[in-house]
């Protein structure tokens, strides 16, 4: 960390030294007397502050020595460090030499003053040089040399795309503003508040000390010095925290400004969003310039809009009466015998609040999807190409043991031993309107089936019993146990859980979208087949297959259980174009050898063999077992050979997609800037090479559909939303965005020729996706972000699964900090890019470490202040009286300024904790309006989510610290089920005792002593936050205080 992030330490530690040395004059004033308040010689002040340059040299020498130990000397790209080390030692001597004269020889003469001033300016120059220049470029950048030894390093570790134009100025601007705000606030709020405590503690004498039997009274007499050292250290930690706070604030401001510029905010011309939607569908979704037969725009728009509305009806998001109001209808024209299209009144009346519930239920999924679709089309979007000309792409989904389709038993029975509600009941409570639509649809189907079977009798008694007969529909969704009815209920539940079926059904909408666009934009194709709908459908499917592939990498497919095999077979029958890649194993030829492994590919058209398995279309023999790491990345990479087309979209097995979003795919792929290519080969002799940085990765937004499932699901969703949308928007502009897996689009050729779509070394590559992003960045690829397209994504829902995910990310970050990629980026990136990279990735985790460290340091301060106050007489202090006035009563200790500093510390730590709520609030405010932002924030606070934030912060800090200290990072399956089951007390205690509960208990003891000795109402915040470390696991456990279970827990604990 010292080597990789050396500029972070230089910037913070040296500036802190400048500030604090200037405000600690009593430490370098001979025989200071407060009643005289004499000032130190000017030379001493200049020189003391100027020692900051010496500190910068020490940090750089330490970073160089760590690099010597850390980077193998035999590696071809290793720099020669001897010259750098000797120059650093020389600079250290130059920086410290004047101080030797000033403090060692004479500090009062003119020479001392001149030397002190020169030392200060040398220190400033040293500081700026070390803060700006990367460690790898100190005293000459080896990457600019022409020696063949470093060609590989230049090409593969430092070929990043340079920012230009607005992006460059935005990158400079954001960091100038962050540090301008940080340096001024830190000086006036943190450093000046420490000036009086420094003066008091450095001159305080403890007169009455009983001492200790072992160490005597030395510690007692040095108590003020001990307290002063702890206060200095606490202030330094808060100095680090301030920067992250201002980074979050300014990043949020820039992101909001950009959202207004792009038009994605709810506050930018909101009135036009729905009224102009039909025109925008025509101009931004449809490619109409090359159409052979010209139709009126309304004819084309109506087909797209009606398809979107009907898809929502089929997903049971809209009732039939809502559908009728939203569709384009054919009505008789004023001209005799002709018919015309009537647009729904929705487009003009949706702006009017009196019509809010006429077209769809308020705050429903349908409203959210239509609103985002309309909003996104008001942003700048690349012009779509005709379907014939669009690039081919593949969607890749890794699957291990995630649920494919929920079984009937899981849905209607309390399968979990500690659960008190069935999954179906829970889902019905979460989606009441959608369940109602599903039941009505099922009843219509049942009525049609019964009439078809000749069941016509309808007497008075039957009508009276209608409500009783309908009860099974409303309870479990079916009355007959026939598979076609039970399967409908299973599908309905699976489409509202985090299942593979939901993911595949969502992303197969790409196929439907391509067919729809091809049919609408090519009416001559429809005319060519006349009324033969079968031939037309075959032609549409042929085009969809040409342009789109969906590939599920089912590593375990050959070893599936009977139920899993049936579910996978159901997927293949429902979606015959779905391709499944899996590992096929054959016994070894000779005894004692390893079994032979193959990458195999099947789809819904594959022949079913006698053993019930499908015959693979392709079978590629592998040189050995490809599963080398933690599984997911190996699973992706072994199936990579089966992807087709120019681009790959990487998806997790708990995502979703929608027809209206899939219609934008041509514009999304145009973001790769490869739609127009140069006809001249770059290898032609005599053609000058062009400096072109291709788009390697295109990030996209995510809607976290699990946000309405419990408060913890909402908190997890909020974090993912802000990171994936609010921060990604600015990070992509300033070159700090990397690859985070789902739902990014990848330039297939670029990524597969540069190490694959993810890295797979066991332990090290725990967060496998981000390494592919770092590789792409270092080798010249650009990473963009797409604002107008979004997928659905599920997140962890329960306390245990969220913290498992937190632990996985924390330990993965510990491994990242030790990786070669961090070394390359940390020691070679220019300052603005380095700061963007640091604060977007490792800075977040180091910030969590510093937050928890600041709380512990503060407790130590409180302990020492309490001891000091208990053993001394407190002076009567008046802020308005000069400090030179005598203190009374005689022999007292002036503790009041120290207490003021303690109070300011608490305010700082409080703000740092609560800054995590700012991005989510702003995100909700810009995209959903004031009322939704206020209600969501109120729900979080009323559900005690601030306590959960404190606990999560500690788990992050503990995970990173443990991994850096002991290693042992490993993949943790987080689980994606609903959090309805109660965890026993013993399991929770054993899981969280070491990471949090013991630490919280220790700090509570310290806080109790502090409260008894230095009580102030501001300590209540610490009582709340430290108690959270002890009680959160039990507070957020479903049914924790159920009467019987509580006593069973007590018995088990004993």
Taking only the tens place, the pLDDT of each residue in 89-114 is 999 999 999 999 998 888 888 999 99
pLDDT of 417? 59
CA 620 to chain centre: 36
CA 300 to chain centre: 39
More confident residue, 69 or 350: 69
pLDDT of 61? 95
Per-residue confidence band for 619, with pLDDT thresholds at 50, 70 and 90: very high
Beta strands 618-621 and 596-603: pairing type? antiparallel
Write down the number of H helices and E strands in the chain: 46, 12
Taking only the tens place, the pLDDT of each residue in 560-615 is 999 999 999 999 999 999 999 999 988 888 887 888 999 999 999 999 998 888 99
Answer positive or negative: Cα dihedral of 739, 742, 748, 752: positive
SS3 608: strand
Q: Which of 398, 383, 370 is closest to 669 using CA atoms?
A: 383
pLDDT of 453? 56
User: From CA 877, how far away is CA 893, in angstroms rounded?
Assistant: 10
pLDDT of 354? 45
- What percent of the chain stands above pLDDT 70? 92
> Could you give the dihedral angle defined by the CA atoms of residues 81, 86, 91 and 92, in that order, rounded to the nearest 10 degrees?
100
Sort 429 into a burial class: Cβ within 10 Å, 0-12 / 13-18 / 19+.
exposed
Taking only the tens place, the pLDDT of each residue in 251-272 is 999 998 888 888 777 776 555 7
Per-residue confidence band for 474, with pLDDT thresholds at 50, 70 and 90: low
Q: Is the pLDDT of residue 136 over 70?
A: yes
Q: What is the average pLDDT across 153-172?
A: 88
> Could you give the dihedral angle defined by the CA atoms of residues 1014, 1015, 1016 and 1020, in that order, rounded to the nearest 10 degrees?
120
Residues 112 and 43: beta-carbon distance below 8 Å: yes
Question: For the chain, which residues make up each domain, given as ranges?
Answer: 1-146, 159-268+713-729+799-1054, 272-377, 393-399+548-674+692-712+730-798
pLDDT of 451? 59
End-to-end CA distance of the chain: 44
Query: Three-state SS across 265-332?
Result: CCCCCCCHHHHCHHHHHHHHHCCCCCCCCCCCHHHHHHHHHHHHHHHHHHCCCCCHHHHHHHCCEEEE
Taking only the tens place, the pLDDT of each residue in 967-978 is 776 666 655 666
pLDDT of 355? 45
Assigned token pair, 603: 């789809």
User: From CA 883, how far away is CA 19, in angstroms rounded?
Assistant: 22
Tell me which H or E stretch contains 68.
helix 42-70
C-alpha to C-alpha distances, 339 to 295, 310, 342, 347, 1009, nearest whole angstrom: 15, 22, 10, 21, 85
pLDDT of 270? 53
pLDDT of 358? 72
pLDDT of 611? 86
Taking only the tens place, the pLDDT of each residue in 297-352 is 898 999 999 999 999 999 999 999 889 989 998 888 777 667 788 888 888 875 55
pLDDT of 37? 79
pLDDT of 908? 86
Answer positive or negative: Cα dihedral of 956, 913, 988, 707: negative
Which position has the token pair 């569908």? 281
Taking only the tens place, the pLDDT of each residue in 183-231 is 999 999 989 989 989 988 888 887 777 777 777 777 788 888 999 999 9
Assigned token pair, 112: 């001392």
Superfamily of domain 393-399+548-674+692-712+730-798: Spore Coat Polysaccharide Biosynthesis Protein SpsA; Chain A (3.90.550.10)
Residue 164 φ/ψ, nearest 5 degrees: -145, 160
User: From CA 282, how far away is CA 377, in angstroms rounded?
Assistant: 10
CA atoms within 13 A on the CB side of 269: 11
Q: Is the pLDDT of residue 454 over 60?
A: no
C-alpha to C-alpha distances, 636 to 339, 402, 553, 627, nearest whole angstrom: 53, 15, 7, 10
User: From CA 1048, how far away is CA 800, in angstroms rounded?
Assistant: 21
Most confident of 22-26, 422-426, 987-991: 22-26
pLDDT of 673? 87
Query: Three-state SS across 921-973?
Result: HHHHHHHHCHHHHHHHHHHHHHCCHHHHHHHHHHHHHHHHHHHHHHCCCCCCC
CA atoms within 13 A on the CB side of 37: 9
More confident residue, 52 or 628: 52
pLDDT of 467? 57
């Amino acid at each position: 960390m010292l080597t990789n992030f050396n500029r972070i330490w230089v910037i913070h530690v040296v500036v802190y030294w400048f500030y604090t040395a200037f405000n600690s004059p009593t430490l370098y004033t001979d025989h200071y007397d407060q009643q005289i308040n004499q000032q130190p010689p000017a030379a001493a002040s200049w020189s003391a502050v100027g020692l900051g340059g010496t500190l910068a040299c020490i940090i750089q020498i330490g970073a160089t020595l760590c690099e010597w130990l850390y980077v193998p000397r035999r590696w071809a790209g290793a720099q020669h460090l001897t010259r750098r080390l000797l120059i650093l030692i020389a600079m250290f001597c130059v920086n410290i030499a004047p101080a030797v004269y000033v403090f060692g020889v004479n500090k009062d003469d003119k020479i001392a003053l001149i030397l002190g001033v020169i030392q200060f300016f040398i220190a400033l120059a040293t500081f700026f040089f070390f803060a700006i220049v990367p460690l790898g470029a100190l005293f000459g950048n080896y990457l600019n040399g022409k020696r063949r030894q470093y060609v590989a390093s230049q090409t593969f570790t430092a070929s990043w795309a340079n920012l230009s134009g607005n992006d460059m100025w935005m990158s400079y601007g954001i960091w100038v503003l962050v540090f301008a705000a940080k340096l001024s606030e830190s000086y006036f709020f943190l450093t000046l508040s420490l000036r009086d405590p420094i003066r008091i503690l450095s001159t305080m004498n403890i007169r009455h000390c009983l001492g200790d039997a072992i160490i005597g009274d030395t510690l007692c007499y040095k108590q003020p010095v001990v307290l002063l050292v702890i206060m200095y250290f606490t202030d330094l930690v808060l100095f680090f925290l301030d920067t992250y706070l201002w980074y979050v604030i300014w990043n949020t401001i820039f992101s909001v400004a950009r959202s207004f510029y792009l038009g994605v905010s709810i506050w930018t011309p909101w009135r036009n969003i729905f009224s102009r939607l039909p025109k925008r569908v025509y101009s931004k979704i449809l490619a109409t310039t090359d159409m052979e037969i010209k139709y009126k725009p309304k004819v084309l728009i109506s087909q797209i809009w009606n398809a979107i509305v009907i898809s929502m009806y089929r997903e049971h998001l809209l009732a039939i009466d809502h559908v009728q109001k939203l569709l384009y209808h054919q009505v008789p024209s004023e001209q005799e015998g002709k018919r015309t299209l009537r647009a729904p009144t929705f487009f003009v009346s949706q702006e009017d609040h009196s019509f809010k519930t006429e077209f769809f239920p308020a705050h429903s999924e349908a409203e959210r999807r239509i609103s985002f679709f309309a909003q996104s089309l008001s942003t700048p979007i690349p012009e779509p190409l005709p379907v014939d000309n669009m690039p081919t792409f593949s969607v890749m989904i890794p699957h291990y043991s995630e649920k494919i389709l929920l079984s009937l038993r899981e849905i209607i029975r309390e399968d979990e031993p500690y659960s008190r509600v069935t999954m179906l009941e829970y889902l019905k409570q979460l989606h009441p309107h959608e369940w109602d639509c599903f039941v009505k649809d099922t009843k219509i189907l049942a009525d049609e089936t019964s009439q078809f079977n000749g069941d016509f009798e309808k007497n008075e008694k039957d009508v009276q019993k209608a409500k009783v007969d309908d009860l099974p529909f409303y309870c479990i969704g079916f009355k007959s146990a026939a598979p076609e009815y039970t399967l409908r209920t299973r599908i309905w539940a699976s489409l509202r859980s985090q299942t593979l079926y939901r993911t595949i059904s969502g992303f197969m909408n790409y196929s439907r979208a391509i067919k729809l666009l091809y049919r609408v934009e090519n009416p001559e194709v429809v005319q060519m087949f006349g009324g033969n709908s079968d031939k037309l459908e075959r032609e549409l499917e042929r085009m969809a297959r040409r342009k789109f592939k969906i590939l599920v990498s089912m590593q375990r497919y050959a070893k599936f259980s009977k139920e899993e095999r049936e579910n996978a077979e159901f997927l293949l029958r429902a979606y015959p174009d779905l391709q499944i890649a899996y590992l096929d194993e054959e016994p070894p030829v000779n005894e004692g050898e390893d079994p032979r492994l193959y990458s195999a590919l099947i789809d819904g058209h594959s022949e079913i063999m006698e053993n019930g398995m499908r015959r693979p279309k392709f079978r590629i023999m592998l040189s050995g077992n490809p599963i080398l790491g933690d599984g997911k990345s190996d699973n992706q990479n072994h199936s990579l050979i089966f992807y087709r087309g120019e681009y790959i979209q990487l998806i997790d097995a708990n995502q979703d997609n929608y027809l209206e979003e899939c219609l934008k795919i041509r514009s999304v792929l145009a973001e790769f800037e490869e739609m127009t290519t140069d006809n001249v080969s770059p290898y032609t002799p005599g053609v000058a090479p062009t400096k072109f940085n291709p788009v390697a990765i295109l990030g996209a937004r995510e809607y976290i559909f699990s946000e309405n499932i419990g408060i913890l699901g909402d908190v997890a969703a909020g974090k993912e939303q802000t990171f994936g949308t609010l921060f990604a928007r600015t990070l992509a502009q300033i070159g700090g965005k990397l690859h985070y897996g789902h739902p990014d689009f990848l330039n297939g050729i670029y990524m597969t020729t540069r190490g694959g779509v993810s890295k797979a070394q066991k332990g090290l590559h725990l967060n496998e996706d981000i390494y592919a992003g770092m590789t792409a960045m270092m080798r010249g690829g650009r990473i963009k972000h797409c604002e107008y397209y979004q997928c659905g994504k599920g997140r962890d829902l329960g306390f245990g699964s969220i913290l498992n995910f937190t632990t996985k990310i924390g330990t993965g970050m510990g491994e990242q900090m030790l990786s070669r990629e961090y070394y390359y980026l940390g020691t070679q990136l220019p300052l603005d890019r380095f700061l963007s990279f640091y604060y977007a990735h490792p800075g977040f985790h180091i910030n969590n470490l510093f937050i928890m460290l600041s709380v512990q340091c503060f407790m130590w301060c409180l302990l020492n202040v309490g001891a000091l106050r208990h053993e001394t007489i407190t002076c009567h202090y008046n802020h308005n009286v000069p400090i030179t006035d005598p203190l009374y009563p005689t022999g007292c200790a002036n503790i009041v300024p120290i207490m003021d500093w303690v109070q300011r510390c608490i305010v700082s730590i409080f703000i740092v904790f609560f800054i995590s709520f700012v991005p989510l609030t702003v995100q909700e405010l810009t995209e959903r309006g004031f009322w939704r932002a206020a209600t969501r924030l109120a729900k979080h606070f009323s559900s005690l989510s601030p306590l959960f934030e404190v606990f999560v912060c500690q788990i992050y800090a503990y995970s990173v610290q443990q991994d850096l200290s002991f290693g042992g990072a490993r993949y943790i399956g987080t689980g994606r089920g609903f959090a309805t089951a109660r965890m026993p007390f013993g399991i929770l205690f054993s899981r969280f005792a070491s990471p949090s509960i013991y630490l919280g208990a220790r700090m509570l003891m310290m806080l109790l002593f502090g409260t008894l000795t230095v009580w102030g109402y501001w300590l209540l915040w610490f009582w709340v936050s430290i108690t959270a470390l002890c009680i959160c696991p039990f507070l957020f456990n479903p049914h924790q205080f159920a009467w019987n279970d509580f006593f069973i827990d007590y018995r088990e604990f004993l």
